[in-house]
Structure 1
Amino acid sequence: MSDNRHERGLARLAELDDEPGGEAFLARMGDLGTYIVDFAFGDIHCRDKLTVREREVIILSVLITLGGCEPQVKAHIRSLRAIGVSYEEIEEMILQTLPYAGTPRAVNAMKVLRDEQEAIQ
């Protein structure tokens, strides 16, 4: 990995098929896009104590639990798919949030997952 946090962040995003974001999204975000690349992905997501998969599972769980983050849930479902996680495993992740995050948040995440599945059919 690069010593440059921005390069590390861009490399990690590329590994995740540029989810969440992509160049157009990051450009549209202006400075916020740079902060996302540099800090969230270049500094935090690239630490070496967890695998990319473990990080994405945690991120998806947190986003579901927060609620109101459906665009980000979608992006991280796509990230999980980009690294080879099956729809069935993602469904199980969503089900595991039910007793902790509540039914409405689990339902919203499941709707996002189903939309993603239906989009490829």
Structure 2
Amino acid sequence: MEPEKYQKGMKVLRTMGDPDGKMVAESLKTIEELAPGLSVSVVEFCYGDIYSRDGLDLKSREIASISALAVVGSKPQLMDHIFTGMVTGLTKREIQEILVQITVFAGFPAALNALQTAREAFELWDANAAGKQE
């Protein structure tokens, strides 16, 4: 593990809506249980190398991530990136339009499945927001 790259990746993850690191720690623990060592690669490569690059802000990176995940049909990761997209400033309407846009390149099944996932993510987002207000 490269401590500097790992720390850089963790900083990006905290910036993306997990300032205390609890959600990230839980996700990384799950990855580590399934495939020892992979969590380090996720943090270092995905977030330390790619997400931390200059040229795009985190909101733009989330637009690209949501699009790609919707196309490949990766529901759990799509759900995660819809949440982080909203943390980085995307609105529900913008996310819906991103998913409508993919019909042109990926077809209706991919877009409709992704829109269903978005609905579930929005419901969880709203429920979480309501819980924080209580």
TM-score over 0.5 (shorter chain): yes
| TM-score, normalised via structure 2 length | 0.81
TM-superposed CA distance for 1:53, in Å, is 1.2
Contact 2:5-2:49 at 8 Å conserved across structures: yes
1:15 matched to which residue of 2? 15
| TM-score, normalised via structure 1 length | 0.89
Q: Distance in 2 between matches of 1:66 and 1:103?
A: 13
Letter in 1 for 2:51: H
1:103 matched to which residue of 2? 108
Root-mean-square deviation (CA, aligned residues, Å) is 1.5
1:40 matched to which residue of 2? 46
Q: Distance in 2 between matches of 1:25 and 1:51?
A: 23
Q: Distance in 1 between matches of 2:43 and 2:61?
A: 16
Q: Distance in 2 between matches of 1:73 and 1:38?
A: 20
TM-superposed CA distance for 1:28, in Å, is 2.2
Q: Any idea what SS the aligned residue of 1:4 has? A: helix
TM-superposed CA distance for 1:112, in Å, is 1.0
Structure 2, gaps ≥5 residues long? 128-134
Which structure's relative contact order is higher, taking Cα pairs within 8 Å and 6+ residues apart? 1
TM-superposed CA distance for 1:15, in Å, is 1.2
Establish whether residue 5 from structure 1 lines up as the match of residue 5 from structure 2.
yes
2:30 matched to which residue of 1? 28
Establish whether residue 88 from structure 1 lines up as the match of residue 90 from structure 2.
no
Structure 1 residue runs of 4 or more that deviate by more than 2 Å after TM superposition: none
> Larger Rg: 1 or 2?
2
Establish whether residue 56 from structure 1 lines up as the match of residue 77 from structure 2.
no
Contact 2:59-2:89 at 8 Å conserved across structures: no
Structure 1, gaps ≥5 residues long? none
